[in-house]
A and B are shown apart, each in its own frame.
Chain A
Amino acid sequence: MSLRDYIRNSQVWRSVFRHPAPKDRRNRAVVILTNLILHLHPVTIKQQAIALSYTWCMGGITFFLFIVETITGVLLMFYYRPTLEWAYQDMLALRDAVSFGILREIHRWAGHAMVITVMLHMYRVFLTGSYKPPREFNWVIGVLLLVLTFLLSFTGYLLPWDQLAIWAITVGSNMARATPFLGHEGPGFQLLNVGGFDLITSTSDARFVLLGARSVGEETLNRFYILHCVGIPLIAAFLMGVHFWRVRKDGGISQPL
């Protein structure tokens, strides 16, 4: 008996993989059905539905980049403290002192790439008319995931705490000041007042809620850190679950009816 067969027939191996190697038709079906990750797929699929020139692979790449971001992000959290005192210092240390220092590079470039691939995924889904019945609701989920991808990138943009970071977030969040009714420089905010006192001021408007302060500061850093590392990823992961599940329930990758 070869070593390979010995391992394959051992109790340990068979407790993990409850079927023979996926070499014949039956076991190629079983491997999909019995594996948690693989069972996101159907067992069989139409050849043209997975043609690269049809799918552009952009949805799958986006999901893969999300996983890359999760892994590199968790690793980066070991090296990073979201405080005014340390945030920038930790960036310098990551750049200058950590061996094989491409963790932050991979995290940043994969982040940029994810924004691009999620937009291209939307482009493809539109151009193949895949949002049409019965997939309308999954398109809506997809739009939410697009927005969450932007927000993930936006909140992460602040964390290096350099000039690029705080001013990009300042420019981006200044808009919230002009929110109609809810921003203290927005149209109609004067209407929200009680007995002559404005409810919407620079310390209570939409921008303040976003930043946790009147300008981008330590509160903002903390807020964005938690949103970036915990809040938005959790929501995005949940919606991704719904998105993938609905792809299956709505009939798989779209095909001519």
Chain B
Amino acid sequence: MIDPHPDLTTPVIWGLGWFWLAVFLMNTGWAFLRWRYRACGASGAAEDSARRRSSVRSVLFWGFYAVLLLAIAALHFAMAGRPSEFWFRLPEAFKDTVDELLSNPVAYFVLWIAAFGVPVCFPAWVAKPTVGWCALNAALVFLGLSLTDWDFRQIVGKPDNVPIVGMLFLVGFFTWLYFHRATDNDRRLAEGRPLREQENNDEVLVWPDLVYIELICMVALTALLIVWGIALKAPLEEPASPVRTPNPSKAPWYFLGLQELLVYFDPWLAGVVFPALIIVGLMAIPYLDFNQKGNGYYTFQQRKFAVVMFMFGFVVLWVSMIGLGTFLRGPNWNFFGIYERWDVHKLEVLDNVNLSEYFYLHSPDWLPWAGPLPQAPPEASTAARLGYILAREAPGIVLLFLYFGLLPPILAATVFRTFYLRMGFVRYVVFIVLLLLMALLPIKMILRWAFNLKYIVAIPEWFFNI
């Protein structure tokens, strides 16, 4: 008889047991803190007694949850010796449904934009410790359950990918921490109280107050690196061979966002122009941000636009695309669901159409320009060829001209009126061009998903495709 679960081995189940035990310990600590908090508010007032009742409920809830986690951990340890009978795993039907629904870039980005939109729209709610703790637990439970899946484990457990999982957790944690402290400060500002950064702000001696933090930090990091180095071996694949191309071939992980852009843009944009613009754009930030508030303390309300823009760029366009490129792009750069086998033979029909083809070939017949693409006759001179190419790509060129030529003045007169007045002409132009270029990324993605648009301007004769 074939083993129904050949993938779950004894060491894996042991490992998962330790994982659940760690989550149990974390939540025990959390429940204990809740209990301490309940004990603090004992002054007898009616308001306090209501708070205490709800605190008792919360302690009971977290205590029950922690016990459940302990039971799950115990189950793993008890059944580790019998992997073939191990039943605590994600049902296949659930995995198939998730793969079905989420294995495409549209769903992936919708999820990220939702995750980005919730704190932006409800910062005060997200900033609550309980909300952050619930989100962390949701992520850990998802990770723990998903690790029972073989394909998920192959990708997430790859030694080189482990730090990227860590990065996702760290970015999530620090984003929460930002909203936690910013909301606190925004409330203080609204009530006219001093900022958190201004309270208990005595001048202290660097020795010992800072030097000890640094020392403890270095010791902890050294320990972490040693444990990490013993636990995970640095990968070493087969010797380099210029003739055998691995499938997929991936750039180093921090460039996978740029490699993902190759799906939507040609290499000259995705690999050269956009990286250069990211660097220049980052350097330009201090000279474009004229808002003098929010210097040296956390705040959201006082610099909403700047924070939303930067977070969108960093979290949704950079970090999420690294995650996408690392975990979800398989052979032939196809998109694979999180529980899906990386099948080399998976076929995705790509039938993308240029804007010029839409304009000429796919227009209804009664439009005057409907017909074949303008094409230079073989005997045409160089200048005539140029004319034909420009005529062919006119729709895209006009659109781009409107986007970069007409949109900035319109925005300057309307939405960005204060920006324009406060920045002056030159700074405004730099700002709006960078902003529009950044916006070009999601715009092109949406056009691709909605209309299978390949290029807005397609001049392969000059390697000039946008």
Q: A180, B273: Cβ atoms under 8 Å?
A: yes
Identify which of A28, A107, A175, A257 contacts B271 (C-beta below 8 A).
A175
Main secondary structure of the interface of A (DSSP, over half): helix
Q: A254, B295: Cβ atoms under 8 Å?
A: yes
Interface presence of B174 (CB below 8 A): yes
Q: Which residues of B contact A172 (CB under 8 A)?
A: 251-252, 255
A42 to B254 Cα, complex, angstroms: 35
Identify which of A64, A102, A108, A164 contacts B226 (C-beta below 8 A).
A102
Which 7 A/B pairs are nearest by Cβ-Cβ distance?
A175-B271, A136-B286, A105-B229, A178-B267, A102-B229, A254-B296, A178-B268
Interface residues of B in 207-244 (CB under 8 A from A): 207-211, 213-214, 217-218, 221-222, 225-226, 228-230, 232-242, 244
Q: Which residues of A contact B226 (CB under 8 A)?
A: 102, 106
Stretch at the interface among A4-12, A118-126, A223-231, A233-241: A118-126
Q: Which residues of A contact B99 (CB under 8 A)?
A: none
Given A128-B298, A163-B244, check contact A177 B234 (CB 8 Å): no
Q: B240, A166: Cβ atoms under 8 Å?
A: yes
A38 to chain B, nearest CB (A): 7
Interface presence of A36 (CB below 8 A): no
Name B175's closest neighbour in chain A (CB-CB).
A123
Interface presence of A187 (CB below 8 A): yes
Q: A186, B239: Cβ atoms under 8 Å?
A: no
Q: A163, B234: Cβ atoms under 8 Å?
A: no
**Between A and B, how many residue pairs show CB distances below 8 Å?**
270
Interface presence of B310 (CB below 8 A): yes
Interface presence of A20 (CB below 8 A): no
B234 to chain A, nearest CB (A): 4
Q: B242, A166: Cβ atoms under 8 Å?
A: yes
Stretch at the interface among B15-23, B54-62, B192-200: B192-200
Given A127-B307, A129-B303, A139-B285, check contact A186 B174 (CB 8 Å): no
Interface presence of A44 (CB below 8 A): yes
A66 to B221 Cα, complex, angstroms: 12
Q: B273, A28: Cβ atoms under 8 Å?
A: no
Identify which of A108, A120, A256 contacts B296 (C-beta below 8 A).
A256
B residues adjacent to A (C-beta < 8 A) = 160, 163, 166-167, 170-171, 174, 177-178, 181-182, 195-211, 213-214, 217-218, 221-222, 225-226, 228-230, 232-242, 244-246, 249-255, 258-259, 266-268, 270-273, 279, 282-283, 285-287, 289, 292-299, 303, 306-307, 310, 314, 459, 462-464
Q: A162, B238: Cβ atoms under 8 Å?
A: yes
Q: A106, B178: Cβ atoms under 8 Å?
A: no
Given A44-B206, A147-B279, A168-B250, check contact A163 B239 (CB 8 Å): yes
B19 to chain A, nearest CB (A): 20
Interface presence of A2 (CB below 8 A): no
Interface presence of A170 (CB below 8 A): yes
Q: B229, A45: Cβ atoms under 8 Å?
A: no
Q: B314, A123: Cβ atoms under 8 Å?
A: yes
A146 to B303 Cα, complex, angstroms: 24
B378 to chain A, nearest CB (A): 20
Given A123-B314, A168-B250, A256-B198, check contact A143 B282 (CB 8 Å): yes
Name B284's closest neighbour in chain A (CB-CB).
A140
Name B213's closest neighbour in chain A (CB-CB).
A50
Extra pairs beyond A25-B205, A57-B213 (13, CB < 8 Å): A48-B197, A102-B230, A105-B228, A130-B296, A154-B252, A163-B240, A166-B240, A175-B271, A185-B463, A189-B463, A255-B197, A255-B297, A256-B297
| Contact bitstring A28-49, B, C-beta under 8 A = 1, else 0 | 1101100000100111111111
